Structure 1
Amino acid sequence: MADTRLLSAVLVLGLCAMAGAEKPSPCQCSRMNPENRKNCGFPGITSNQCFAVGCCFDSNVPGVPWCFQPLPKEENQECVMEVSARVNCGYPGISPKDCASKKCCFSDVVPEVPWCFHPKPVQDCHY
């Protein structure tokens, strides 16, 4: 059992080191709903080990993964948020240019959700 955990840790750390993982931004971590966290570590992983593989770490919420996948990186940190947190700022078919002219965020990666949405202040972000 201990050998399996050690092997898992070595594989995870080795693969991410090869990929050049970087510590996610606070917005990518703090804006993730704890119920939506996807495990990114192994039992007993430390915050430093978790950050080293490019994942988020938060041990304040029991019963959910403490080391978890971050939200997608965005050019503007004010635009980093879960899809469910988006507040519509446009209309169906709005272009990225028209969205930007409204000083809003644009991401068309996920279908059937607002692609043009209001930003959130970065003061909301923390580790």
Structure 2
Amino acid sequence: MGPRGAQLLAALLVLGLCALAGAEKPSPCQCSRLSPKNRKNCGFPGITSDECFDSGCCFDSSVAGVPWCFYPLPKEENEQCVMEVAARVNCGYPGISREECVSQQCCFDDLVFQVPWCFYPKPVEDCHY
């Protein structure tokens, strides 16, 4: 193997180790609160649930015609705040501050425009695998 092959092999090993180190099993809320029609494929045909979870993705084979191994919803500090933006129910008003929103026991996320930034949390009991 030449120097170029050794460099490529080293780069692949580093990427593989980084992927393994960064892979963390998603929480039930990150998986169950994602609508099946919005799933983005995270696996390959025939992937097992263990392989899927090991790569940091969600697995649910109960719905036909959609990816079974899919990327989770973004992680939130509070599990009650994990939900699709379309599921948000407004808990504030335009321009509300994070502090005022949180003081009302609501969730705050200002990263997506034209959806409520201050919204009601969902009970964690409705999260399951």
| Same fold, judged at TM 0.5 (above) | yes
1:50-92 per-position Cα deviation (integer Å, ceiling 9, x unaligned): 0001000000000000000000000000000000000000000
1:95 aligns with 2:97: yes
Q: Provide the C-alpha distance between the structure 1 equivalents of 2:53 and 2:19, rounded to a whole number of angstroms.
A: 10
Unaligned 5+ runs, structure 1: 1-10
Matched with 1:123 is 125
Of the candidates 28, 31, 50, which is equivalent to residue 29 of structure 1? 31
Higher CA-based Rg: 2
1:25-52 per-position Cα deviation (integer Å, ceiling 9, x unaligned): 0000000000000000000000000000
Tell me the C-alpha RMSD between the 2 structures: 1.5
Q: Is the partner of 1:113 in helix, strand or coil?
A: coil
Matched with 1:5 is none
1:106 aligns with 2:108: yes
Q: Give, in angstroms, the shift of residue 101 of structure 1.
A: 1.0
Q: Provide the C-alpha distance between the structure 2 equivalents of 1:109 and 1:30, rounded to a whole number of angstroms.
A: 22
Q: Give, in angstroms, the shift of residue 20 of structure 1.
A: 2.0
Q: Provide the C-alpha distance between the structure 1 equivalents of 2:67 and 2:111, rounded to a whole number of angstroms.
A: 25
> Which letter does structure 1 place at the counterpart of 2:19?
C
Matched with 1:45 is 47
Q: Provide the C-alpha distance between the structure 2 equivalents of 1:25 and 1:73, rounded to a whole number of angstroms.
A: 8
1:16 aligns with 2:19: yes
> Which letter does structure 1 place at the counterpart of 2:55?
V
> Which letter does structure 2 place at the counterpart of 1:81?
M
TM-score of the superposed pair, with normalisation by structure 1:
0.87
Matched with 1:76 is 78
Q: Provide the C-alpha distance between the structure 1 equivalents of 2:123 and 2:19, rounded to a whole number of angstroms.
A: 30
Q: Is the partner of 1:62 in helix, strand or coil?
A: coil
> Which letter does structure 2 place at the counterpart of 1:77?
E
